[in-house]
Amino acid sequence: MKYLMILFTLFLTTVCTAGSIDQAMVKIYTNSVAYNYYLPWSTDAPMESSGSGCVVHGNMILTNAHVVTDETYLQVRKEGDPGKYQAFVVAVSHEADLALITVDDESFFRGIDPLELGELPMTREEVTVYGYPMGGDALSTTQGVISRIESSRYAHSGLSLLTVQIDAAINPGNSGGPAIIGNKIIGVAMQTMNQAENISYVIPVPVIEHFFNDIEDGKYDGFPSAGFSYQTIRNEAFSTMFGIRQEQTGVMITKLAFGSPAAEVLEPGDILLQIDGRAIAGDGTVELRSGSRTRLDYMVNRHQIGETISLEIIRDEDGIRHTVEMKLNTTLHDLTVVPNKIYDTPPEYFIFGGTVFMPLSLNYLESWGYDWYLNAVDYLTYPFLFDNWRTESREEIVVLTFMLPAEVNTGYESLKNEIIVAVNGVPVRNFSQFVELVDEGTDTFLKLATNLGNIIVLDRPEAIATNDEIMTRYGIIRDRVLR
C-alpha cells in the first residue's frame, strides 16, 4: 500500500485536451489463477485476459476490479507504445468493481496528461467509451447516449449501487475503460445486459469518488449497509391505519440483521418515512434529483463507514413521527449469513476424518454452474436468496460438502451438501466455532447432526490418528484454511 501516500493529489488541477485522451488510455494484460470452491485446497488452471484502463493523477491507472481479480502477474501497455510494463495493484473495491494499479517505472507516465473526473451526467447526453475490446489490438471508441441513472446490481459483487446505463456497445476487453463527456471521466465501463441489445452499464463518478475517499487513510473499508428489509406501502388502508396523511409514502421495516446499525434504532413494524433527510415513497424509492428516482439503499451506501445518518419513523399506530440517528459501521458482508462473491482470498475449509467442511458462500453455490439457483439443492440456495440476515444464533452456515472415503468414515460416503446444525449437541453458530468444537472436543465420539436429520458419528481418536494418511492419500497438503 506504499502507493496510497501519493494517491490523493487525484483530480485537482490538470485539465486535459481532447487529443490527450487517447494518450491516457492503457491496455491491461492479466494472468490470473482462481480458487476452486469445490476442491478448496486447489486452484483452477492459469488464465490470460485483457481489459482497459486510463491514467489518472498520482501515476495511477483506473480500471475494474474484475480485470485484476486473482491476478498473479500484470502488464500494461499505453497507447502508442508497443512495450509492455509490469504493473501492480494498489487498491481494490470488489463491491464497486473498481481498482487502481500503477507501474514502478515512472517513464511509463511520461508525456501523459492524466484524466479528471467529471460530474454525474444527465440522461440523453452523448457519451464516448474508450477501450480495447476483443477483435483487435488498437484503441477503440464507441458512442452512445445516457439512457438511465439509478441503482442497479453490480454483476461482480452482487451489491446494488448507483449506475449509469448507456446504449453504447461494451464488449469483452472494454471493461475498465473510461466513459467520457467533455474530456472528463463520467464513468468506468463495467457490464452489459446479455438478454438485450445495446444496454450497457458504467460505474458513475459518485461511486468512483466514494472509492477514492475511502482509501484516503490507506485502507479500504467498503460501502455501509444498514441491515434491514422492508415492505412497500401501496395500500390506502395501510397508510390510514398508521396515520400517514399522504398515500403511498414510506416503507415498513420487516427484518433486522443481528448486530446491524438498524437493529440498534429500529424495530420490525416501524414505518420508515425519511432517510438522511429525503422522503421515501411507498415503492421504496427516493428522489435522486429532480425528475429521477432510485432505491432507498442509495441513501445509505453513498456514505462512508463510520458516518451517521438520520431516520424519520412512525412507531406503533399513533401516527407520531420520531427521528433517530443511525451510525453506519457495518458492510453487507458483516451482516449476511451467506456472503456475496469473495475474491483474491483462498476459500476456507476444514477436513476431519476425511470429511470436508466449508462455510456456505456464493462462490460455493456457483460451483453448480451459471444457473446455480436452479441446480443447487434448495436448502442451500434459500438462505442466500430469501433469508440472508444474520441472527443471534446463526452467523454462518457450515456445509459438509463431501467425503474423502476412508476406513474411519465408512458408511457415510454418499453424504454430501448437508448443513451441520450441531456438534455433540451444541448448535453451530459459525465456521470458526464449529472448527473449535471439533478440535477441542474431549468426547470419544464426534457426533454431527445435519439439517436432513442424519447423524454422523466418527471415532475421534481414530480420525486424528489417520488424518495424515488420508491427507497424503488424496494429495492434500493442509487439512484446513481458516480466516
pLDDT band at 420 (very low <50, low <70, confident <90, very high): very high
Q: What is the pLDDT of residue 8?
A: 44
Query: pLDDT-based confidence at 10, cuts 50/70/90?
Result: very low
Q: Report, as an integer, the average pLDDT of 254-263.
A: 98
Q: Using 50, 70 and 90 to split pLDDT, how confident is the model at 196?
A: low
> What confidence score (pLDDT) does residue 14 get?
39
Give pLDDT tens digits for 199-230: 899 999 999 999 999 999 999 999 999 999 99
pLDDT category of residue 11 using cuts at 50, 70 and 90: very low
CATH 3.40.50.300 for the 349-481 domain, yes or no = no
How high is the pLDDT of residue 460? Answer: 97
Return the CATH number of the domain spanning residue range 228-333: 2.30.42.10
Answer whether CATH 2.40.10.120 is correct for domain 2-217.
yes
Q: What is the mean pLDDT of residues 172-180?
A: 94
**Residue 126 pLDDT > 50, yes or no?**
yes
Among the listed residues 200, 36, 5, the one whose alpha carbon sits nearest the alpha carbon of residue 100? 5
Q: How far lies 71's CA from each of 53, 413, 460, in Å?
A: 16, 36, 40
| 432: pLDDT strictly greater than 60 | yes
* Dist. CA 474–CA 405, nearest whole Å: 10
The pLDDT tens digits of the residues spanning 348-388 come to: 999 999 999 999 999 999 999 999 999 999 999 999 999 99
Return the H-helix or E-strand segment holding 239.
Answer: helix 236-241
Give the model confidence (pLDDT) of 64-118 as tens digits. 999 999 999 999 999 989 999 999 999 999 999 999 999 999 999 999 999 999 9
What amino acid positions are annotated as catalytic residues? 66, 97, 175
pLDDT for 20: 77
In this prediction, residues 300-311 reach a mean pLDDT of 98
- Tens of pLDDT, residues 233-258: 988 888 888 777 776 789 999 999 99
Return the C-alpha cell found at 126.
Answer: 452523448
The pLDDT, as a whole number, for residue 392 is: 96
Banded pLDDT at 316 (limits 50, 70, 90): confident
pLDDT at 1: 47
User: Hey, where are the domains in the chain?
Assistant: 2-217, 228-333, 349-481
Task: Tell me whether the CATH fold assigned to 2-217 matches the one assigned to 349-481.
Answer: no
User: What are the backbone angles phi and psi of residue 201, rounded to the nearest 5°?
Assistant: -130, 145
> pTM for the full model?
0.92
Compute the average pLDDT of residues 14-30: 77
User: What pLDDT, on the 0 to 100 scale, is given for residue 6?
Assistant: 43
E strand spans, 79-183: 85-93, 98-102, 126-131, 140-153, 160-166, 178-181
